[in-house]
Structure formats: structure tokens, C-alpha cells
Structure 1
Amino acid sequence: MERSEQPLEFWLQDLERRRAFVKPEHTMRGFFYKGMLGNIRTLGDEALVKRCLEACSEESFVDFFSYSVQPLFLILLTALPTLAERHGGAEAALRQIGRQASIDFLESVAGKAMVLLAGSNPRMLINNVPAAFNVAMSYGTARLEWTGQTRGRLLTEYSFVPPPFHEGMVQRLLEAGRAQDIHVSAHATGALNVVCEFSWK
């Protein structure tokens, strides 16, 4: 049975709940924020990006500077209502943001090298996800569990982004590995823990 989609209010409350767990040592690199704003520009428009920057009182982000996680919530809380309207609901919008994050990574120097090495092997591509998490963020862990040759789960601890974001991210990576008949489903397993199960043929 398919899971029912949660409304916008649910995900806005989910973001506020996650925000309450932020501590001073929880930081993200500026390139993650630049990518997030680029995603919002692609999925929304320049005016929405401007509103997001005003909400977090930043003019811009420096790639390798470490910033608090707090702006992440201010950006998503500002952007999500508009993106939900344009992309068929809040869950669909969060998936699109996650998907766009993967596209940004795949177009980077590191991402292109990863795709070149993995070729048409989705498994090799997904194996690099935990390392990418560790570069971008100062907190939490991401690890893979393989339950079959073309089936597994990505387990993240201390994830400040909701499960649909993970779904979009993993879906796009598998597509980059030329996987077929992809199935991705993520759900929370604790206050800030997310399990993203995936398979392909």
C-alpha cells in the first residue's frame, strides 16, 4: 500500500522540530548553502532566493566556510510554501530539492570523477554517498547497508533535512548510474534519523 502524502503544514512543523535540535557545533559548508539556493532558483525564481537570503540575514555564502545549520531551516521554511504550490505539494518539492542537490554534486569536479569511475554501475555510485555527506557536514553519520546486489538502504543519523529530500537525492544518483525500475522510499526512524531504502533492476 502506498504511503499517503503529508500536507505542507506537516513538513513545516517537521522542519521546526528538527531546528530545535541544532547546536553551535552543527555546521555546513558554504557550498551546500550555495547549492541549496541554486536549487531554489531553478525550482522557483530569483525573487524567492532573495527572500531566503533576507530570512537568514546573509548576502552570500563562501564555499568552504563553515556556517551554522540554522540558515538551512530559515531557507527551507521560506521557500517551501512557494515551491509546494509550483511542484505538486510539499513532499514533491522536497524531493525536487534533494534531486537538484544530486544534480549539483554530479556536475561538480568530484561528482564527474565519481560518475566516470562508476560508469554504468549504480552500486559503485551509491557507495560514495557517505563520504560526500562527511565532506559537506560537521555532524552526524551516513552509512550504507546492502541487502542484495541491487537493493540496500542509506542510514543517516542527525539529518536536518526531511525524508523526501533523501528520496530525491538517492533517486537522481541511481538515475546517473543508469539504473532501471528504481524504487526509493525514506522514513524517519528517530528524532533526526532517516532510513532511505532503494532498489533497482
Structure 2
Amino acid sequence: MAYPKNDMDQRLALVRPEDTVRGLIFNAVLNLAERQLGPDTAAKLREPLFKRSPVDFFSYSAVDAIRLLYATSDALARAGRFGSQEEAVRACGAAAVTGFFSSTVGQTLTRLIGKGDPKRLLSNAPTAYSTLVSYGRREYSVIAERHVRLAFEGDMQPVQFHEGVLQEALKAIQCNGTVTGTPRGYFAADYDIKWEA
């Protein structure tokens, strides 16, 4: 299944000129495209935005990030790599976490959090997000012993992207859990994260 034809345009209309995303996210999506579709396709996806690969911790336009996400997820879905564009967007989100946790900041955060402590990891999610994007805010709340919620406001990425991010973050700390995103329009969503004992 693909997103509605105007989905990307609706999201782009919400982006302010000052909204930025770190190069690390671009590189994670491009690296996924290269692994799944080959270097030539990855280069074609990159070329409309960058002559060379972006620098991980430089900031770039959120408009370009959304355009790259939609172009890459569409190419991955058309190639039959993830079954649907939504699943390809989740894979892009997961790739972003892999890129983040392999960075210096991500490695430091992993050492601070340790393995198997989802509450500690997820309570730090608002801070981690704020190092990667300039827009929006995220609030963490505990719902039950093994259930927390992250409420996102002012974030124009598709829900599936953040589901992929959060699911992969659980995996990174060796925790078996589920992430369910509930959109509130194009600009906000709630993410319920539950895990096993």
C-alpha cells in the first residue's frame, strides 16, 4: 500500500524554513537504499539533494529529509523489498536508529542507559530526538509498569517512521516489545510502547 498521493505535500506544507534534520538521518536512509537497491539507485536518490553524502552532525533542510524519505520508501516498495511503502518507511526509521547508535552520541547514550531498561531509554527519547531535529517536542509518560507513551507535537514525519525508530531502539537494548503509533493529524501522534517482563 502506498501513501495517498498528496501525503508528502501535506507534510511539506507544515515545514518551516528553519526546520532541520541532522545529516546522520539522511545517511542512514541512503545507506539502507544502497544495501537494498545498490549504489547506483542510492546515488540517484541522493543527487537531487546533495552532490556528496551529507555530514552526519551538520543540519540540513527538513523539506529535503521528507523528500528523501518518500522517494526512498517508494523505491524500496516498488522493488518489493518491504512489501509496502509504509513498511519501507518503518525500515528507514529503524536504519536511522542504527546510524544514531553507531555515532559517538549514540554510543555514549547506550553506555549510560545499559541493556534491557526500556523506561530509561524511552525517558531519554525527547533529548535524543532534540539532538537530531530542530522542530517539535516530545513528552514521555508512564502508563503502566511495562507501558509508556511518547506524545509528539510539531513533527511532520509519518507515524511509521517513528514506529521504526522506537522499535529498533528497543531492539538495540535487547528488549522485546511493541510500538503502536496513533496519528493526530499530520503534525502530532502518540506512540504506545509496551514490553515483556
Same fold (TM over 0.5): yes
User: Are 2:112 and 1:117 equivalent residues in the alignment?
Assistant: yes
Q: Which residue in 1 is equivalent to 2:171?
A: 175
Per-residue displacement from partner, 1:133-155 (whole Å, max 9, x unpaired)?
11111111112111012101111
Segments of structure 2 that go 5 or more residues without pairing to the other structure are none
Q: Which residue in 1 is equivalent to 2:132?
A: 136
CA distance in 1, matches of 2:50, 2:106: 30
Q: Which is worse superposed, 129-138 or 171-180?
A: 171-180
CA distance in 1, matches of 2:122, 2:98: 14
Aligned match for 2:31, one of 29, 34, 38: 38
User: Are 2:54 and 1:61 equivalent residues in the alignment?
Assistant: yes
Aligned match for 2:191, one of 181, 189, 196: 196
Conserved 8 A contact 1:52-1:74: no
State the shift of 1:57 in Å. Answer: 5.0
State the shift of 1:78 in Å. Answer: 2.0
CA distance in 1, matches of 2:60, 2:123: 27
User: Are 2:81 and 1:86 equivalent residues in the alignment?
Assistant: yes
Q: Which is worse superposed, 42-51 or 133-142?
A: 42-51
Per-residue displacement from partner, 1:18-52 (whole Å, max 9, x unpaired)?
01112211112223322332232234321222111
Per-residue displacement from partner, 1:65-110 (whole Å, max 9, x unpaired)?
3221121122123222221121111111111111111111122222
Structure 2 length-normalised TM = 0.88
Amino acid in structure 2 at the alignment position of 1:17: Q
Q: Which is worse superposed, 110-119 or 67-76?
A: 110-119
Segments of structure 1 that go 5 or more residues without pairing to the other structure are 1-6
CA distance in 2, matches of 1:150, 1:108: 28
CA distance in 2, matches of 1:43, 1:145: 36
Among the aligned pairs, what percent are the same residue? 29
User: What's the secondary structure of 1:195's corresponding residue?
Assistant: strand
Q: Which residue in 1 is equivalent to 2:2?
A: 8
State the shift of 1:58 in Å. Answer: 4.0
Residue correspondences, number:
193
Q: Which residue in 2 is equivalent to 1:105?
A: 100
Q: Which residue in 1 is equivalent to 2:122?
A: 126
Structure 1 length-normalised TM = 0.87
State the shift of 1:157 in Å. Answer: 1.5
Q: Which is worse superposed, 15-24 or 57-66?
A: 57-66
Root-mean-square deviation (Å): 1.8
State the shift of 1:16 in Å. Answer: 2.1
CA distance in 2, matches of 1:194, 1:46: 34
Shift of the 142–15 alpha-carbon distance from structure 1 to 2, 3 Å rule, reads: same
Q: Find runs of 4+ consecutive structure 1 residues off by over 6 angstroms.
A: none
